[in-house]
């Protein structure tokens, strides 16, 4: 099981350009044409897989970002958020993980605050089972919102093996979940499960539209 209390000791033999980071206005450069995101096939969750005292929803579907096709791999959750926006930490962070044909990883992150219940999140918990299993198809496409503003930078996976060259897109507009929806996660899994922010070093962060 991944121990977040011992995260400073996680083996990181891959270098120093890591994730998550604190996204501060002064480190950001504007890029009007940052992303041209198009859905190629809807993102459909099909299997719930329990691992490391958390769970993921494995699925299918694809997006095209700047003319490169990325296939949807999985959705998983961190509580509280891993990325900060100007030092602000959110209640949750959802990671939609994609890979292209060359094996490069791209993650679209959604930050989450308390508010109205989230319909897709509810569908996921209604389908949740302790043992990994196939579930009725859940359409996850609406989690990503084309035309939202986002931050983009190059970082890493936030769990071992902490592999770098991960392309991050963090939507600045938070989703909401209700208090009881948030509580559900805390009841089932150990939290916190967020990696602490990592040094930016000399990376640039871009700001633009999805």
In angstroms, rounded to a whole number, what is the distance separating the alpha carbons of residues 61 and 206?
Answer: 26
Compute how many other C-beta atoms are within 10 angstroms of the C-beta atom of residue 206.
Answer: 15
In the shown chain, the binding pattern of residues 129 to 168 toward Zn ion, with x for contact by CB under 5 A and - for none, equals ----------------------------------------
For Zn ion, give the closer residue by CB, 83 or 95.
95
User: Would you say 10 and 19 are in contact if contact means Cβ atoms under 8 Å apart?
Assistant: no
Interface size with Zn ion, residues (CB under 5 A):
1
Q: How far is the CB of 205 from Zn ion (least distance, A)?
A: 18
Interface residue with Zn ion, options 56, 83, 91, 95 (CB under 5 A): 95
Q: Minimum Å distance from CB 107 to Zn ion?
A: 7
Residue 96 CA to residue 102 CA, distance in Å, equals 18
Q: What is the DSSP letter of 88?
A: B
> Hey, how many other C-beta atoms are within 10 angstroms of the C-beta on 145?
16
The residue among 31 and 80 lying less far from Zn ion, judged by its C-beta, is 80
Contact 112, 176 (CB under 8 A): yes
Q: How far is the CB of 95 from Zn ion (least distance, A)?
A: 4
Query: Where does this chain touch Zn ion (CB under 5 A) — which range of 10-18, 21-29, 91-99, 140-148?
Result: 91-99
In the complex, the residues that contact Zn ion under the rule CB under 5 A are 95
């Amino acid at each position: 099981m991944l121990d977040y209390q011992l995260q400073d000791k996680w083996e990181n033999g891959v270098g120093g350009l890591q994730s998550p980071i604190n996204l501060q206005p002064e480190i950001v450069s504007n890029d009007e044409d940052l992303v041209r995101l198009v859905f190629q096939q809807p993102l459909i969750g099909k299997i719930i897989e329990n691992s490391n005292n958390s769970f993921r929803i494995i699925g299918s579907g694809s997006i095209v970002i700047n003319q490169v096709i990325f296939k949807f791999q999985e959705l998983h959750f961190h509580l509280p958020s891993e990325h900060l926006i100007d030092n602000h930490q959110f209640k949750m962070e959802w990671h939609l993980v994609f890979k292209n044909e060359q094996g490069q990883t791209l993650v679209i992150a959604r930050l989450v605050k308390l508010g109205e219940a989230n319909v897709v999140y509810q569908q996921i918990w209604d389908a949740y089972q302790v043992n990994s299993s196939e579930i009725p198809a859940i359409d996850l496409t609406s989690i990503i919102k084309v035309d939202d503003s986002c931050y983009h930078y190059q970082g890493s996976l936030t769990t071992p093996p902490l592999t770098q060259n991960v392309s991050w897109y963090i939507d600045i507009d938070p989703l909401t979940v209700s208090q009881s929806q948030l509580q559900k996660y805390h009841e089932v899994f150990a939290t916190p499960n967020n990696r602490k922010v990592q040094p930016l070093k000399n990376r640039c962060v871009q700001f633009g539209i999805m």
